Structure 1
Amino acid sequence: MAGRPRSFDKDAVLRMAMRAFWERGFDGVSVAQLCAEAEIAAPSLYAAFGDKVALFDKACGLYTEQLDASLESDLSAPTAREAVERLLRTSAEHFSAPGQPPGCLVMSEPRLAERRGKTREMIRERLRRAAAEGELASVTEADGVAAFVDTVLAGMAALARDGAGRARLLDAARYASAAWPA
Structure 2
Amino acid sequence: MDDHNFVLKLYRKFKQWPLGAQLFSRIVCFKAPYFNSIHPVFETLEPGHAIVRVKKRRSVTNHIGTVHAIAMANAAELAGGTMMEASLPSSMRWIPKGMTIEYLKKAKTDITAETKLDVIPDRGSQDVHVIVEVKDINGELVSRADITMWVSEKGTSASQKSV
Tell whether the structures are fold-level matches, with TM greater than 0.5. Answer: no
The structure with more helix, counted as a fraction of residues = 1
Computing the radius of gyration over CA atoms, which structure comes out larger, 1 or 2? 1
TM-score between the two structures when normalised by the length of structure 1: 0.29
